[in-house]
Amino acid sequence: MTTDTHMRPTIVCLCGSTKYKDVFEKVTAEETLAYRIVLAPGTFGQADSIDFSDDTLKMFDELHRRKIDLADEVLILNVGGRIGKSTSGELEYAKKHKKLIRYLEPVD
């Protein structure tokens, strides 16, 4: 792939269930190879079987919304068509802030 590295790369924020750590890793690589800056969760509590406190989970939600603020677009990792409660909230936040939305899998 040829890119004009003088242009600022698009910043994309990945949103989805942290139980799909392998999907986040695959998509991060694909997006990076497409000359995009990737913002993603910093932890994968569900995939790694880590129980975080409610306060920590609220902090993660707030932190991810700040990542959406920084992003040009949001990529929803709707594995199997699934969009859970937390991801739905991120999706609504992104729409409210007029971010371009892409989906990993087609939506109806």
Q: What is the pLDDT of residues 4-13, one digit of tens each?
A: 667 999 999 9
Over pLDDT 90: what percentage of the chain? 81
The answer on pLDDT for 68 being more than 80 is yes
User: What radius of gyration, in Å, describes the C-alpha atoms of the chain?
Assistant: 14
The answer on pLDDT for 93 being more than 70 is yes
Over pLDDT 70: what percentage of the chain? 95
Answer whether 90's CB lies under 8 Å from 71's CB: no
The answer on pLDDT for 3 being more than 90 is no
| Global pTM exceeds 0.85 | yes
